[in-house]
Amino acid sequence: MSLSDITSRVAAAERAADRPVGSVQLVAVSKVQPNERVESVLQAGQRCFGENRVQEAAGKWPDFKEAFSDVDLHLIGPLQSNKARQAMELFDTIQSVDRPKLAKAIARLAQELGQCPDLFLQVNTGKEVQKAGILPEDTDAFVAECRGLDLPVKGLMCIPPVEEEASLHFALLAKLAKRNDLAGLSMGMSSDFEKAIALGATHVRVGSAIFGARVKPEG
Ligand SMILES: *Cc1c(COP(=O)(O)O)cnc(C)c1O
């Protein structure tokens, strides 16, 4: 697969769902990819990227941002509160706000920095013990809490359990977003982004289908 194959498949899925072409943001997930691959995807015109580790992103994206000024960088992995400042300075969107403690840290820093990235709240739709995210039944209260902190909450994000039918999780996330008046829905990865688009995804996070298999283990 190449970037253009994936953008064509995104457009086809948008049309199949009667949604305007261009309404879904493709987030190219560049974690653990060699810089040459990231650079060639930048050269091909892609500007929105996802990374799951602050440290790794801080090592490569400042230089890319200088070369390609309109880069739009999304954090899609777990964020420790003590890395929140660095993340807020580097990322345009943080998709992995997953607990009240982190929301409070971001709110405090937003005051201090005078700016805040767009935020998505991560929902643990499968209620997996090892996975980050707010539980579905706690989502309404968490959205309200974040709004009370004046945070720019744009949407919800989920990573469904690998062994379950993703569509059920996408539908649940869409329902939670709708009832909280949130327009953003980050769901769908390489293996299931078309299903996610059919169910209303506004952001799909696609890594290996664009870049090929990750060369290093995620660790
Ligand atoms: C790695 C990752 C992706 C991309 O996964 P692929 O299967 O390679 O498309 C999407 N979302 C998150 C949160 C990830 O960590």
pLDDT digits (tens, 9 = 90+) for 143-182: 999 999 999 999 999 999 999 999 999 999 999 999 999 9
Does residue 148 fall inside a structural domain? yes
Instruction: Provide the residue type at 18 as one letter.
Output: D
Does residue 34 fall inside a structural domain? yes
CA-CA distance, 62 to 113, in Å (whole number)?
Answer: 19
Does residue 55 fall inside a structural domain? yes
Does residue 219 fall inside a structural domain? no
CA-CA distance, 95 to 119, in Å (whole number)?
Answer: 6
Does residue 137 fall inside a structural domain? yes
Nearest CA owner, ligand 1 atom 7: 190
Q: How far is the CA of 205 from the centre of ligand 1 (A)?
A: 6
Task: Tell me which residue of 102, 172, 165 sits closest to 136, measured CA to CA.
Answer: 172
CA-CA distance, 207 to 191, in Å (whole number)?
Answer: 10
Instruction: Provide the residue type at 191 as one letter.
Output: S
Does residue 139 fall inside a structural domain? yes
Q: What is the CATH number of the domain that holds 193?
A: 3.20.20.10
Does residue 144 fall inside a structural domain? yes
Per-residue DSSP letter, 192: T
Does residue 218 fall inside a structural domain? no
Nearest CA owner, ligand 1 atom 5: 207
pLDDT digits (tens, 9 = 90+) for 54-110: 999 999 999 999 999 899 999 999 999 999 999 999 999 999 999 999 999 999 999
Structural domain for 202, as ranges: 3-211
CA-CA distance, 131 to 110, in Å (whole number)?
Answer: 26
State whether the beta carbon of 106 lies less than 6 angstroms from ligand 1: no
Query: What pLDDT score does 218 carry?
Result: 53
CA-CA distance, 214 to 36, in Å (whole number)?
Answer: 13
* Mutate-to-test residue for ligand 1 from 52, 91, 218, highest number of ligand atoms within 8 A of CB: 52
Question: Based on the structure, what is the number of domains in the chain?
Answer: 1
CA-CA distance, 143 to 209, in Å (whole number)?
Answer: 32
Total-model pTM: 0.96
Half-sphere exposure of 108 (CA within 13 A, CB side): 10
State whether the beta carbon of 53 lies less than 6 angstroms from ligand 1: no
What confidence tier does 128 reach under pLDDT thresholds 50, 70, 90?
A: very high
Q: How far is the CA of 208 from the centre of ligand 1 (A)?
A: 8
State whether the beta carbon of 52 lies less than 6 angstroms from ligand 1: yes
Nearest CA owner, ligand 1 atom 12: 76
